[in-house]
A and B are shown apart, each in its own frame.
Chain A
Amino acid sequence: MKAVDIERAVARLAAEVADRARAEGSERGLAIVGIRRGGVHLAGRLRKRLAKLLDHEPPLGTVDIALYRDDLDEKGAVPVVGPTDVRFPVDGKTIVLVDDVLYTGRTVRAALDELVDFGRPRRVWLLVLVDRGGRELPIAPDFVGERLSVLPQEDVQVRLTEGGAAEDQVIVTRRTP
């Protein structure tokens, strides 16, 4: 995906979220949570667009799933723990959980576990820029920017300008063994 595709996808995703929130009467109770690190900048962009569409700015949070991983014993070293920052009350909210790439679903599982430790949201929607398939858990996204068919030995990288990239792009690279 090129910069223009990404921008178009984010605009469409924001519109879809706004429509569904209106349809369900939950636009006031909307909150956005980005999964570190890939989902954070995307969550910020989504919030900006939603603020325009809904005439109010939904609260924004960040979760870091390092403490909720299920592979502490498998990794070469313990994963780096980044900041989790959820300052608004989660109870009763409609949370849009945002990540850049959806793959096995394990990250989303961990993020959901973490989210419910902050309270009981009314519902959680999963929004991803790229769904690359390959799920290992029964998790499905509610909003998808683009579906890609990618081989297991390939990596999908979402590079955004907020993260230091020269321009927004989604690239698929073959993993070096």
Chain B
Amino acid sequence: MIGRHRHCLGLADYSPEDIVEVLDLAVSMKEVLKRPIKKVPSLRGKSVVNLFFEASTRTRSSFEVAAKVLSADSLNWTASTSSVSKGETLIDTVKNLEAMRPDVLVIRHSAGGAPALVAQRVDCSVISAGDGSHEHPSQGLLDCFTLREKLGSLVGRTVTIVGDITHSRVARSDLYGLARLGARTRVCGPPTMIPPGIEALGPTVHTDLKEAVAGVDAVIMLRIQHERIGDPLIPGTREYSRLWGLNARKAEEWLSPTCLIMHPGPINRGVELEPEVADGPRSVILDQVENGVAVRMALLYLLAGGPEAANEAKA
């Protein structure tokens, strides 16, 4: 089972066993993060290139820390300071980086499918760190990890994702991951932000927040992705906040007492989450960030263990 995938491009490709394998390994990785000396030598001599064509602090730092804890070398490469701004194509950029012989390429790109395209053209492993509105697999995995850590088995649990589902790669990865682990899902948001056919991934669709969060085990709040939206899909953030944002009163009255609140970050405080909810006792938002490093360590370990290993396992 271990090392079956050569790339991590989306959770759509991952079976329940594949996901459980990463999450179980992440438990061991999290233990490493709690040691006095947070470093193990397992990926010594391996190199990881973080190739980010879109702004990111959380995910890039998380991959960087994950690589460092495993003793891999990491190189950060950001589009705004690179030759992309001078007109180089994606494949040319990647081919040039590949000439430096990385073992893993971590890619974030505004175009859905860009990491998959790159994966076809390079010999190293590719991890998507979020591509357009397609998927953000490591975020999906860390959300599953956090939920499993807090709730135990997810079989029969219900999770609601609230916000701009259409433009959210996190939502898609979460929906795949949660469904594989046996959880029930709901999505909720303005009708203009619910993509047609989303039911195919498992969730029931709601436009009323109160109804969508009634009795659920966790709520994942999303940020409105202004950078991905052309025409406005909502009249304004105030109305959005009133209808789909969570404040202390709604959380108190509508959520079950044990319901967890999650957010992939960055939070727009006062829009989807009021500060008293984001920082409140139900919030596991900072656990998500901590778990993100453990999950990314697990992914790097499984993939940088060698494409040779993956091929042998397949044969």
Contact = CB atoms under 8 A, between A and B. Distances in A.
B36 A117 contact: yes
Contact of B31 (A72, A78, A80, A85): A85
Given A67-B42, A68-B42, A84-B28, A78 B37 contact: no
Contacts of A75: 309
Given A67-B42, A68-B42, A75-B309, A81 B28 contact: yes
A72 B71 CA distance: 13
A83 B24 CA distance: 10
B42 A66 contact: yes
Closest 4 CB pairs of A and B: A78-B305, A67-B40, A67-B42, A117-B37
A118 B313 contact: no
A82 B41 CA distance: 16
Interface of B: 2-3, 25, 27-29, 31-32, 35-37, 39-43, 70, 301-302, 305-306, 308-310, 312-313
A73 B35 contact: no
Given A64-B28, A69-B42, A78 B2 contact: yes
Contacts of B312: 76-77
Given A68-B42, A117-B37, A77 B28 contact: no
Nearest to B26: A81
A176 B287 CA distance: 48
A146 interface: no
A85 to B, nearest CB: 7
Interface of A: 64, 66-69, 72-73, 75-85, 113-114, 117-119
B41 A113 contact: yes
A117 B39 contact: yes
A77 B40 contact: no
A117 B309 contact: no
Contact of A77 (B29, B42, B309): B309
Contact of B306 (A67, A73, A81, A85): A73
A118 B302 CA distance: 24
B32 A67 contact: yes
A68 B41 contact: yes
B252 to A, nearest CB: 38
21 contacts: A67-B28, A67-B42, A67-B70, A68-B40, A72-B306, A75-B309, A76-B309, A76-B313, A77-B309, A77-B313, A78-B2, A78-B3, A78-B302, A78-B306, A78-B309, A81-B25, A81-B29, A84-B31, A117-B36, A117-B37, A118-B36
Contacts of B35: 117-118
Contacts of B31: 83-85
Nearest to B39: A117
A117 B302 CA distance: 22
A78 B312 CA distance: 11
B309 A67 contact: no
B2 A80 contact: yes
Contacts of B28: 64, 66-67, 81-84
A66 B308 CA distance: 18
Given A67-B42, A68-B41, A83-B27, A78 B36 contact: no
Nearest to B41: A68
A76 B3 CA distance: 10
Contacts of B39: 117
Given A68-B40, A72-B305, A113-B41, 4 more contacts: A67-B70, A77-B312, A81-B25, A84-B31
Nearest to B301: A78
A117 B40 contact: yes
A66 B40 CA distance: 10
Contacts of A82: 28
B42 A118 contact: no
